Structure formats: C-alpha cells, structure tokens
Structure 1
C-alpha cells in the first residue's frame, strides 16, 4: 500500500501497574475492533491509548488511575518509536520518547529516552513538536501565541464515548471557535507550509518594525529636547573642521615651545609630564589594538559559524535524500539477476526479507537512527544560529567603539608631541591660554564623535526599518495570493467530505428520513456542527451514526487528498451509544469496514463495540480478548 505523509499507526499498547503488566495488546494496519460487554473496560482502553498519544482531559476510571504508566509503540511515517506517559489526574503531563521498538525500549536505560514537556519553552520543544517533526507536519499557530498540540488534533481523531452530541470534536472546557477553526483547517491541509511561514514571518516583521520605530521615536524625543541635530553628514563636516582647528592650535603650541630652551627644573618637569603621557599613549594604543584584534577574530568566527550552519543544512538535506533513496530502492523489484542476467525465481513478497537475496531486513532501526540524527542536527543548527547572533551583536558594538578609541589615541599622540618639545617660561601665559583653547576643542570634538555615533545608530535604524517595511509589503502580496489558493483547497476538501458523508448515510438502516433521502450534507468546524439536508437535530441513535460517519468521511477524504494532514488514523468509541438497536450497530460496523476496504493507502481505524457484528467476530480484524465484567480489560491487582 502507498504511504502518505503524515501517517500514524499504533503497533502495540502496554499499560503498567508498577512492575506488573495490566494490559498488553498488539494492533495492525487497517481496521482494529475492540469488543466486550458493557462496563468491561473498552472505553478505558481507548482513553489510555489516546492519552499515550498526547490527549488531555481524560475522564479517568478508578482502575485506570491505579495503573502507573502507558507505553505505546507507533509508526510515524513508517518509522518506529515508543512513547511513554505516566498516568495521573494532573494535567499537561510530559512524554518520553524512545526512537526504537517497544521491546528495545523496555530494556533501554533512562539515558536513551528523550523527555519532552507538554508545553514548549525557550530551551525545550514540546512532545507535540517532536511528534510533528517525525510526522513531517509543520508547526501551526493556534489560539493566542500557542502552537497546535497532539491533544487538539486528537480531539478530532478520537470520537470518544461522552461526546455524543459533539459531532466533530471531543468536548473541551477551554474550547474556542478560533481553536476549532485552526485545528479543522490544519487537518484538512488548508493552511499550507508556505502560507504558514509567511504569516509567521509577517508577524515577526510587524514586531521588529514596531521596535525600530519605538527606538527612533525615543531618540528623536531626546534630541528635540536637547536641541541636537541627528544629521550624520553635518556632523562629519563639523568633525573635520574641529580636527583642522585643533591641528592648527597644536602646531602653534609646538612653535611656541621651540622658541626658547628649557631650564633644568622645567625640563625635568616637562620630561616627567612627557613620560606620563607616553604611558597613557601606550595603554590607549594597546586598547585600540586589542579591540581591532577582537573584531577581526569575531568576524572570522562569524564566517566560520556561517560555514558550519551551511554544512549542517547540507547534512539535513543529505539525510532526507538518503531516506528517499532507501525508499526508492527498497521498492525496486528485479526480474533478472543484475550479474548474469538469468531470470530470477518467484520473489518473496513478505516485508521482512529482501525479495532478491532473501536476507532478513531487520527491525528498521536504521530509520529510527535517521530520525535521531535529524533531531540532533536541528539542535546544533539552532545553537549555531544563536551563537552567530550573539557574536554579530558583539562585533557591531566594537565597530562603534573602535573609532572613539582611535580618536583618543590621536589626541594623546598630539598631547605627547606637544609636551615633548621645549617651551619657554617667558611665554607661560600664552601657553596656558593656548592649552585652554586646545582643551575646549578636544571636548567639543569628543562630543561631536558621540553625536556621530548616535547619528549612525539612527541611520542604521531607519535603513533597517525601511528594509523590513519593504519585505512586509512583499509578504502581504504573497499571503493574499496564497489565501486565494487556500479558499480553493478548502472548497475541495469540503466537497470530498460532504460527498462521502451523503453516500455513507444512505447505507444506514432506513430509520432516519433525512439519511434515507440525503442529498446534501455540510459541516462547520467553528460551530462544531454537522448538517444533513439542512437539519442538525436527530434522535440519539441517529446522532451517533452521524458522528461516526462524519469522522469516517474525513478519513476517506484524507486518503483521496494527499495534501490533507489527517494522519490516516482514527479512533471511534461509543458505536452502540444512544440506545442504538443491535441491527443498526451491526450495519454501522459493516459501513466502516466496507468503506475502509476501498482505501489503497496505509491507514488505521480502531473502534470499540459491545455489539460486535457476527461476521467480524471471526475475522482477523478483532484485537485482544473479549472483555467481560468478570474479566475486565485491565488486569489490576490489589496492592
């Protein structure tokens, strides 16, 4: 069968009560039927399975709370993984993931498991994000600033028993129309990756532009109060003029000192002053040199980090190409020997052996290793990008500080040159006056350089704001085009679901008039309602049929539309709810099995019933044993 992405499949569920196995059941591809009498624990098993996959708001039964943890082996797009969650009434419990089979997981030490929280943080991704990555599903923004979670998806994929009058979603006390709309559109594949990324980028741009404008307003407000000009060109001209005036004044001071020889006492004093200036000059030159060396080192590190990021991105692409290559060659069939060209005997068709050489293919651990390597590369990529940002920030600061250090060096060089020359005490008054003027010029130059630095910052902020604004306009135009495409896809999915629903409702027993003559059916994720021939109010048993037929129709549409993000997985409980008569329950089961038999892709449907259709009882669709009140699903022992 064809594997569409995303595809989720449960291989095995194990529930522990401490060290005791309270439940252990394997599952298979296709339809899985859990059966047993009323009050025998079928819903408890379904709830535990949903919880192990990330569901919340479970209405725990007492026997379930006596258990300690769930282990479930799953296939995520064909790659094996094991998920563990500790059972308890506390909400938002974390999940541990082992990238291998359940048998390997039970033998593995804690260091081989990866712990993920329910909610993401700055330093840790959530288990929903980890599972979405493994299923090659993009992250999507939900209500507020939160991302969609496995719990929100399972509210559609798991039609549980208490939600009879909630035809689309499992009941949730914190549900909002925006959340329902986002979840429905996400599963339907309405929001494509490009549009999602563009919308996220536009939100980032809006925040960055707002930040730039806030900084500019603050700077201009301060400049307006102080009467200063932020004109960078004007400041550059003024600095040149001040530097020329200082050079002329320094030359005049040097000329005055050359007119007469120094007395011994004054000469000693002058030499002492020159020595002090020379020390300061050496220190200033050292600081300037050190800053320039540090900037050069940072630029080299940044360039090296960019090369490392490119290498990581190349490795990620190589991993994807490796997976695609293995998938391609794994499906290749040979009729003739590639060495001697002789016709080969009939090939083995089982998935555990190579059809050419009949060698066992193993447990797929290489695929799990690819997932682990991809996760590690993504972590390194995030760390390297963060490091580049920090180093770039430090380098930008040095580029601002180095000109000030250089100006300070030049000032000390000029001062040292001035005091190192001879001067006459006869012109002391003139020298002091000249020195005061020189000091005033130095202070004015210093302030001009400070304003120049501020003007440079303003110019950079304005340039960056204009660049972000231009990018934002381009993104808005792109988003508008993508949203038009989104509306077309939304109509396509709705038509596929409604067509399947109308067809399947007609196969029900002729009890509900609207179902018998069904001509139109519609659904609305926002209002959580399903209509047939314009009506949404039906008898209890008909509401149960409609709820399960809708979910089955959604699965049917997902196998017809590869772009949909329903992971070709469905859990149905309460097949016999609403006082449904046995014949109608049997017919609903037949509808489910017959519809699923038409699928040509990998899928999995798990449903529970207390009135199993006799034709299914002896089939290979049933899983586990038959549950009774005396032999309940969970083998919970007294402690």
Structure 2
C-alpha cells in the first residue's frame, strides 16, 4: 500500500502505574475499534492515547491520574519510535522519545532517551518540532511568534467525547480564530512553507533596505551641508590633476633651490607676496565678520519671529474663547434687571431681538467678523512659521561656514606674520610660497583620497541596496504566484471535503431531511462550523453524525490529495453520543468502515463505541478486550 507523507500510525499503547502495567493494547493499520459498555473507560483510553501523542487540556478521569506514564509506539512515515509522557494535571508536560520499538525502549537506559520540552527555547527544540521533522512536515508559525504544535493538530485529528457541539475542533478555552485558521490551512496543505519563508525573507529585506537607505540619507545630508562630492569618476580625475600639479611644483621647487635665481616676472611676484597676503587677510576678515554679523541678526530675527508666532497663537486661542463665551452667554435668559434687580416683563420670543433690551441682534455679522479675523491670523501664522524655517536653514548654513572662514583667517594671519617679522630675499620668498602651495596640495590630495574612500563606501551601500531591492522585487513576484497557488489549493481542498461530506451524509439513515437532500456541505475553520444546505442547527444525534462525517471526509480528502498534511490518522470518540438510535450508530460505523476500505494508501482510524455493529464484532478491526464497569479499561491497583 502506498505511503504518503506525512503518515502517523499507532502500533501499541502501554500505560504504567508505577511499575505495574495498567493498560496494554496493540493497534494495526486501517480501522481500529475500541468497544465497551458505557462508563467502562473507553474515553479514558482515547484521552491517554491523545495525551501520549502530544495533546493538552485532557479532562482527566480519577483512575487515569492514578497512573504515572504513557508509552506509545508509533510509525512516523514508516520509521518506528516510542514516545513517553509523565501523567500529571499540570499542563505542557515534556515528552521523551526513543528512536526504536517499545520493547527496546523498556530495556534501554535513560541515556538513550531524548527529552524534549513542550515549548521550544533558544537552545532546544520542542517535541512537536521533533515529531514534525520525523514526519517531514514543515515548521509553521501560528499566532504571535509561537510554532504550531502537535496539540493544535490533535484538536482536529481527535474528535473527543465532550466536544459534541464543536464539529471541527476539540474544545479549548484558549482558542482563537487566527489559530484555528492557521491549523486548518496547515492540515489542508494550503499553508505553503515556501510562501512563509518568502514572506519572512521579504520582511528581512525590507528592514535591511530601510537601514541602507537611512545610512545613505545620513551620509548625503552631511555631504550636502559640507558641499563635498561623492562622484568617484570626478574624484579620480581630480586626484590625477592634483598629483600632476604636485609633481610640477616639486620639480619647480627643486630647480629653484638649485639655481637660486628667479625670472623677473616671478621676482616681482615674490616681492608682492606680502601685499597679496595682507589683501587676502583683509578680505577673509571682512567675510568672517560679515558672516558673524549676519548670523547674529538672523538669530535675533528668529527669536523675534518666534515671539510673534506665540502672540498669534495666543490671539487665535482668545478668539476661540471669545466665540465660546459669546455662544454660552447668548442663550442666557434674565428674569431680573441686572441694574435695579426688578423683575423683568415677559421676554420677547423673537430670536432676532435681545430679550432684555429688545435691540435687534443683526444678521450674524459678529460671527462673520470673528471668522475673518481668525483667517487673517491663521495666514499670518503660516507665513511667520515658514519665514522662521527659512531663517533657521540660513543660520545653520552660516554656522557651518563660519568655522571654515575663521580657520582661513588664522592661517593667513600666521602666513602674514611670518612674512612681516623678517626680511627674505626674492628666492627665499618664492621657496616659502612654493612650500606652502606644496603643503596645501598634499592636504587637498589627502582629503581627496578620504573622499574617495567615502565615495567607495557610498557606492557599496548603493550596490547593496540595489541588490536587496532586486531580490525584494523577485520575492514579491514569487509571493504573488505562491498566494495564487495557495488560493487554488484552498478551493481544491474545500471542494474535495465538501463533495465527500455530501456523498457520505446521504448514506446516513433517512432521519435528517437536510442530510437526505444534501446538495451543499461546507466548513469554516475560523468559526468552527460545518454547514449542510447552509444550515448548521440540527438535532443532537445528527450533530454527532455530522461531526464524525466531517472528520471522515477530511481523511478521505487527505488520501486523495497527497499535498495535504493530515497525517492519514484520526481518532473518533462518542460514536453513540447524542441519544443516537442503535441502528443509526451501526450505520455510521458501516459508513466509516466502507469508506476506509476504498483507500489505496496507508492510514489509521481509531474509534470507540459502546454499541458495536454486530457485523464488526468478529472481525480483525476490533482491538483489545471488551470493557465493562466491572472490568474497566485501566487495571489500576491500590497501593
């Protein structure tokens, strides 16, 4: 028989009470029937089996709590493993896994068992993750940042007895629509781990792109304020030109030191160097002084404008308060004269006149005047705010320029002082001038190389950003395709389950008219509801039938659609609940067995009944002994 992935099969369940075996039952592939009278412990066995596979929120019976641990041998995609959990009313119990048979595990030492917590941590995976890996099921993230767990899957795969009116999920006090939608999409194969990985990667890329752009904006903002270039080609050309100028100047200086003579033109220029320095110094001082004066004037204008803005805002508030006061007192009625306190005659009912002095109130020109004044103040406020912003920008530019101007003044002062303090020959003046120019060229070349490094960093940032953006675009296109595929799968899975439900409901005894004439059947994981002919309200026994038919239809769809992640495994309890007639219960059991007989892939169904169909009693579908109140499922003993 074909084995689809994932496929989960239970081989054997053993429940211990200390060193005593309280329960031991072997299971097989296909349909497994647990039977026994009411209150004989069938549900207890089903609960213990679900708990051993990772279920939570078990409604423990007293005899189950007297037991200490469960051992279950399973096949995970054909590979044998043994799972052990300690029984306790505390939630989120860990699980130990032995990668071998149950008999081997009972002989193995503790070091051969691997203990996994219920929840993952930074250094350890959870037992759900370990089982998902063994079943070749992708990790999926549910609500918040939590991973999907075996408990959440078993809420669908195990239809337990107390959840009669919960057609899809086992009841859970901590349930949420988002979790239900996630579980449904995951089991249906609608959840695509490639799509999820692409969405995660896209979020990472968006964060990285934002970081790159923030860094680039910061660099360009600083460069723009300092008027530096980031053009690599321009800087390369500039460095070549500066190096050439430096080489020429170095050669000229060497020749001058060797020959110790100057051409007439250069000699005259050297003699005029002191006058030239003095003139440059005066111009630099004037520029520095003018910039400082302008900055001081701007700061004064900004402070004055801000005071004016505060005054405008105060006037606007006063206008609003005036309008509010006028509105409040305009409706006040005086019964006595505010001057002589005599009772006033009855007020005029005419709203167009003052009730006190009978003066006409006009046509609302007061309100119009208030509105006009408010608009004028708003316009002035906007203009003043804009003017402040422009002046602040201009002042910031001056604060950047003034230190450079001051630095130039200090440098010129040093050069002029050096020339003025001592007499030098024309050759010495020319040598000193050439040396200064050579030093300036060296400084400019160093600065250009630093700018070149910065430009390289910017270029690398831009390339990185462009590469990330291109990958982001590709991912967005891939996500659109995967989402379309996901939507198609969702429709495909829903159609398969709905068709199976309609077909199976018509096989029920003709007691529920909607089932007999079933034309449409659909389900909603978010609202935990199943509808037949757009109705969801049925008799209690019909609700039980519908609940089990839905789970059977889900299993049928999973054996037809290999991409679904239902592990070809379901557990059904409460087959006879809801006051169901014996004949209807027997028919439901026949429907389950006949439907499963059509499957051509590996699967397992475990269901419990208190009234087994006689045709099944003597078949190999039955597992374990018949339970009674006198010989209950668990053989617990007094200490």
TM class, shorter-chain normalised?
Answer: 0.5 to 0.7
Cα deviation, residue 135, structure 1: 1.6
Cα deviation, residue 225, structure 1: 5.6
Q: Partners in 2 of 1:589 and 1:574 — Cα distance?
A: 12
Q: Partners in 2 of 1:21 and 1:543 — Cα distance?
A: 37
Q: Partners in 1 of 2:544 and 2:28 — Cα distance?
A: 25
Cα deviation, residue 65, structure 1: 3.1
Q: Partners in 2 of 1:42 and 1:613 — Cα distance?
A: 16
Flag the 1:515–1:456 CA change in 2: closer, same or farther, 3 A. Answer: same
Moved more, 222-231 or 606-615: 222-231
Deviations 1:548-569 (A, max 9, x none): 0000011111112222221110
Q: Partners in 2 of 1:638 and 1:252 — Cα distance?
A: 112
Moved more, 166-175 or 596-605: 166-175
Mapping 1:4-403, distance limit 5 Å = 4-224=4-224, 228-237=228-237
Mapping 1:429-444, distance limit 5 Å = none
Deviations 1:278-335 (A, max 9, x none): xxxxxxxxxxxxxxxxxxxxxxxxxxxxxxxxxxxxxxxxxxxxxxxxxxxxxxxxxx
Q: Partners in 1 of 2:247 and 2:108 — Cα distance?
A: 77
Deviations 1:497-516 (A, max 9, x none): 11211121122222212112
Q: Partners in 2 of 1:85 and 1:440 — Cα distance?
A: 80
Cα deviation, residue 443, structure 1: 6.9
Deviations 1:586-628 (A, max 9, x none): 2211211121122121110011122222332322212222223
Flag the 1:207–1:113 CA change in 2: closer, same or farther, 3 A. Answer: farther
Cα deviation, residue 531, structure 1: 0.8
Task: Tell me the residue number matched to 1:546.
Answer: 546
Flag the 1:224–1:582 CA change in 2: closer, same or farther, 3 A. Answer: farther
Q: Partners in 2 of 1:86 and 1:507 — Cα distance?
A: 42
Task: Tell me the residue number matched to 2:487.
Answer: 487
Moved more, 106-115 or 556-565: 106-115
Q: Partners in 2 of 1:175 and 1:205 — Cα distance?
A: 33
Q: Partners in 1 of 2:187 and 2:40 — Cα distance?
A: 33
Task: Tell me the residue number matched to 2:458.
Answer: 458
Q: Partners in 1 of 2:147 and 2:508 — Cα distance?
A: 39
Flag the 1:225–1:80 CA change in 2: closer, same or farther, 3 A. Answer: farther
Flag the 1:3–1:436 CA change in 2: closer, same or farther, 3 A. Answer: same
Cα deviation, residue 571, structure 1: 0.6
Cα deviation, residue 233, structure 1: 4.1
Flag the 1:244–1:505 CA change in 2: closer, same or farther, 3 A. Answer: same
Cα deviation, residue 545, structure 1: 0.7
Q: Structure 1: where are the runs of 5+ without partners?
A: 260-426
Task: Tell me the residue number matched to 1:504.
Answer: 504
Deviations 1:423-481 (A, max 9, x none): xxxx9999999999888877766665555444333322221222222222223223323
Q: Does 1:634 align with 2:625?
A: no
State the secondary structure of the residue aligned to 1:162: helix
State the secondary structure of the residue aligned to 2:165: coil
Count of aligned pairs between the two proteins: 473
Q: Does 1:587 align with 2:587?
A: yes
Q: Partners in 2 of 1:207 and 1:197 — Cα distance?
A: 15
Task: Tell me the residue number matched to 1:382.
Answer: none
Flag the 1:119–1:241 CA change in 2: closer, same or farther, 3 A. Answer: farther
State the secondary structure of the residue aligned to 2:623: coil
Q: Does 1:610 align with 2:607?
A: no
Cα deviation, residue 10, structure 1: 0.7
Q: Partners in 2 of 1:225 and 1:188 — Cα distance?
A: 58
State the secondary structure of the residue aligned to 1:141: coil
Task: Tell me the residue number matched to 2:477.
Answer: 477
Q: Partners in 2 of 1:556 and 1:154 — Cα distance?
A: 17
Flag the 1:117–1:253 CA change in 2: closer, same or farther, 3 A. Answer: farther
Cα deviation, residue 163, structure 1: 1.5
Q: Partners in 1 of 2:508 and 2:139 — Cα distance?
A: 38
Cα deviation, residue 101, structure 1: 1.2
Flag the 1:149–1:440 CA change in 2: closer, same or farther, 3 A. Answer: farther
Flag the 1:238–1:588 CA change in 2: closer, same or farther, 3 A. Answer: same
Q: Partners in 2 of 1:85 and 1:253 — Cα distance?
A: 91
Q: Partners in 1 of 2:542 and 2:550 — Cα distance?
A: 12
Flag the 1:451–1:549 CA change in 2: closer, same or farther, 3 A. Answer: same
Flag the 1:120–1:242 CA change in 2: closer, same or farther, 3 A. Answer: farther
Q: Partners in 1 of 2:255 and 2:71 — Cα distance?
A: 91
Task: Tell me the residue number matched to 1:513.
Answer: 513
Deviations 1:16-59 (A, max 9, x none): 33333332221100111122233332222212222222222222
State the secondary structure of the residue aligned to 1:31: strand
Task: Tell me the residue number matched to 2:597.
Answer: 597
Cα deviation, residue 186, structure 1: 2.0
Q: Partners in 2 of 1:245 and 1:17 — Cα distance?
A: 96
Flag the 1:234–1:90 CA change in 2: closer, same or farther, 3 A. Answer: farther
Cα deviation, residue 204, structure 1: 3.3
Q: Partners in 2 of 1:22 and 1:258 — Cα distance?
A: 112
Q: Does 1:575 align with 2:596?
A: no
Q: Partners in 1 of 2:442 and 2:628 — Cα distance?
A: 96
State the secondary structure of the residue aligned to 2:162: coil
Relative to the length of structure 2, the TM-score reads 0.66
Relative to the length of structure 1, the TM-score reads 0.66
Task: Tell me the residue number matched to 1:352.
Answer: none
Q: Structure 2: where are the runs of 5+ without partners?
A: 260-426
Q: Partners in 2 of 1:60 and 1:454 — Cα distance?
A: 69
Q: Partners in 2 of 1:141 and 1:118 — Cα distance?
A: 15
Deviations 1:244-279 (A, max 9, x none): 6777888899999999xxxxxxxxxxxxxxxxxxxx
